[in-house]
Amino acid sequence: MFRISLGRMASPPNSNRERHATRWIANIRPARLSLDELLDRNLHLDVWEKRAEFLTVVASESDLDAIERDRLASIDKLCTLEEFIRRHPA
């Protein structure tokens, strides 16, 4: 069993599970849908901010890859959630 800590799994480095568990802060710009249509889909996004042209979200790398692979949106990864927490301590 794996433990989740700051969006990463406690597993061997560079493992496939760790890659899929990495959570990113990213800007998502819809390609084929409107922002509202994108939000209506079950894409496992934690939406932090909605702007006129894009969403700022937190999502797993595998979920972001699926969105890009399905050509629903372009993804601009800003940093991992772990990096953000390290840079902005409470």
pLDDT at 5: 35
In tens digits, what is the pLDDT along the chain, a chain of 90 residues?
A: 333 334 433 444 455 555 558 999 999 999 988 999 999 999 999 999 999 999 999 999 999 999 999 999 999 999 999 999 999 987
Q: How far apart are CA 84 and CA 74, in angstroms?
A: 21
pLDDT at 90: 77
Query: Which are the contacts of 73, defined by CB distance < 8 A and separation ≥ 6?
Result: 28, 29, 30, 31, 33, 38, 67
Taking the domains of the chain in order of start, what are their residue ranges? 4-9+21-87
Q: How far apart are CA 69 and CA 43, in angstroms?
A: 13
DSSP state of 1: -
User: What global pTM score does this model have?
Assistant: 0.75
Q: Please state which CATH number belongs to domain 4-9+21-87.
A: 3.30.70
Structure tokens that stand for 61 in this block = 């790398």
pLDDT at 20: 59
pLDDT at 19: 53
